[in-house]
Structure 1
């Protein structure tokens, strides 16, 4: 069987559970820029804001605290939008932008990739720093929620990713060892955190970007989720690394 980009399978054993990050890994968040523009704010601020939400969530976790993703996101919006020439009040703008999460769609490679993995017999779950409601609507609208065994959020666990306890908690929830789980994510920080917690890792690199050298590298790199099932296929698992 030919493998994507000439890559041979790198995994000596088949993972029991495949764990998906949600925001940006499954969901296409590029449309959030339009939500900002509709309020009179610059569209580029969407990426700055989302990176800031992650930064502040990580900072809270590092200091031993926690907050819901939506609460951090909304409060940082109030800070980010303050003083801008908006076409509506700040609170109305915050509500308009936050409601954009309910309208997100999946990346084009996700539906087929998820169905391929489920057909191959893998257990599929999500683990998001956001809410399970957002993940549920995203997957339900695309008609693939039933492919997932469960949808999980760090809101029900001990800490935000990439704190190690976030990953070990989901392993306990799924009744497997961390090394029996494979995290699929677009974020190098998530790949690094999962690897440090003992999980296997697959990085989706849709943007053809270089991987930061200061993070633990992924076990496999793919450009589309459709490439993952062949890499995990049974006929390749016994091949040497």
Structure 2
């Protein structure tokens, strides 16, 4: 096994990058009769998490998730029961890993990369979502934006990871399937690795930075990162 000590620390986004939120689809289909409502809810959640940060406010991501679910229900005149909300919370805490997650993490770990996570979600009691998904063993640290009460892509979130690891942001490489997250990390001085999962794509516009690494799956992305550090 060859170790690459000069390699960046790989910082993984969690929800949708590692864990599959599409497993929530049956719940949204049952509640709304339309599985597209899942993406509508998720877009509202991201929008309002960023709005809270820009406004100098903070509410834990899970609570915003429930609020965005109720907002989506109100928009479509759907009545939610307490049982619906509890099922939503349970499904959110038990999302499985994407099939490419373990093979990709194994490649990076075996190549000597240090791996951590950075999530908008608040810390949770054990077993955590990563533990339930069988991914926790790969990561030396798991960071939450709750520590700075700001959501990604606020610079403070990436800077917090660098500070806690006693490195510069330039020594971090964020892996995410959300381009807004990658853009935020790059703006904060990190490298950015973008995985183009379904519903996510590049944005072509002036001054939008291009990710340092791009691939359609985590395994290929990991191989690109390893090859770059070995060259």
The structure showing larger relative contact order (alpha-carbon pairs under 8 Å, at least 6 residues apart) is 1
Give yes or no for the alignment of 1:148 onto 2:139.
yes
* Aligned pairs (5 A) from 1:90-169: 90-133=81-124, 137-169=128-160
* Aligned match of 2:58: 66
State the Cα RMSD in Å. 2.4
Give the CA deviation at 1:76.
2.0
Structure whose alpha-carbon radius of gyration is higher: 1
Pick closer, same or farther for the CA change 1:72–1:85 going to 2, 3 Å.
closer
Q: Would you say the 8 A contact 1:22–1:126 is kept in 2?
A: yes
Task: Report the Cα distance in structure 1 between the residues aligned to 2:230 and 2:149, rounded to whole angstroms.
Answer: 36
Pick closer, same or farther for the CA change 1:134–1:97 going to 2, 3 Å.
farther
Give yes or no for the alignment of 1:24 onto 2:38.
no
- Stretch deviating more after TM superposition (104-113 or 134-143): 134-143
* Partner secondary structure for residue 124 of structure 2: helix
Give yes or no for the alignment of 1:199 onto 2:190.
yes
Consecutive unaligned residues of structure 2, counting only runs of 5 or more, are none
Q: Tell me the number of residue pairs that the alignment of Structure 1 and Structure 2 aligns.
A: 224
Pick closer, same or farther for the CA change 1:210–1:47 going to 2, 3 Å.
closer
- Stretch deviating more after TM superposition (160-169 or 213-222): 213-222
TM-score (norm 2): 0.87
Task: Report the Cα distance in structure 2 between the residues aligned to 1:158 and 1:96, rounded to whole angstroms.
Answer: 27
Give the CA deviation at 1:180.
0.3
Q: Would you say the 8 A contact 1:81–1:90 is kept in 2?
A: no
Task: Report the Cα distance in structure 1 between the residues aligned to 2:110 and 2:67, rounded to whole angstroms.
Answer: 41
Task: Report the Cα distance in structure 2 between the residues aligned to 1:85 and 1:16, rounded to whole angstroms.
Answer: 47
Task: Report the Cα distance in structure 2 between the residues aligned to 1:57 and 1:136, rounded to whole angstroms.
Answer: 25
Consecutive unaligned residues of structure 1, counting only runs of 5 or more, are 1-12
Task: Report the Cα distance in structure 2 between the residues aligned to 1:172 and 1:211, rounded to whole angstroms.
Answer: 29
